[in-house]
Amino acid sequence: MSPVTLDWPTRLSPTCIERDAALVELRVLLIKGLHTGLSGRAGADEGFIEDVAQMSLVRILDHLHTFEGRSTFITWALAIALRVAFIELRRKRWNNVSLDELKERNPDLNDATDPSPDPQQQASRASLIQLMHRLIQSELTPLQRDVLLAELNGMPQDEIATQLGRTRNTIYKLGHDARRALKQAFENAGYSVADMLSVFTETSPQSHP
Binding site for another protein (CB under 8 A): 33, 36-38, 66, 70-72, 74-76, 78-80, 82-83, 86, 90, 103, 106-109, 112-115, 128-129, 132-133, 136, 145, 148-149, 152-154, 156-157, 168-169, 172-173, 176, 179-180, 182-183, 186, 193, 196-197, 200-201, 203-209
When the beta carbons of 20 and 183 are compared against another protein, the nearer one is 183
Q: Whole-number minimum distance, CB 171 to another protein, in Å?
A: 9
Judge whether 196 and 190 are in contact, CB under 8 Å: no
Distances (CA, A) of 147 to 104, 178, 180: 15, 9, 14
- Show contacts of 157-166: CB within 8 Å, 24+ apart: 158/87, 158/90, 158/91, 159/90, 159/91, 159/94, 159/95, 159/97, 160/99, 163/98, 163/99, 164/99
When the beta carbons of 23 and 99 are compared against another protein, the nearer one is 99
Q: Whole-number minimum distance, CB 7 to another protein, in Å?
A: 15
Q: Whole-number minimum distance, CB 189 to another protein, in Å?
A: 13
Which of 131, 164, 166 lies closest to 149, judged by CA?
Answer: 164
Judge whether 73 and 7 are in contact, CB under 8 Å: yes
Q: Whole-number minimum distance, CB 14 to another protein, in Å?
A: 23
When the beta carbons of 11 and 151 are compared against another protein, the nearer one is 151
Q: Whole-number minimum distance, CB 21 to another protein, in Å?
A: 20
When the beta carbons of 106 and 188 are compared against another protein, the nearer one is 106
When the beta carbons of 55 and 136 are compared against another protein, the nearer one is 136
Q: Whole-number minimum distance, CB 1 to another protein, in Å?
A: 22
When the beta carbons of 28 and 197 are compared against another protein, the nearer one is 197
Q: Per-residue b/e over 163-181, b at no fewer than 16 CB within 10 Å?
A: bbebeeebbeebbeebeeb
| N-to-C CA span, the chain | 55
Q: CB 139: neighbour CB atoms within 10 A? A: 17
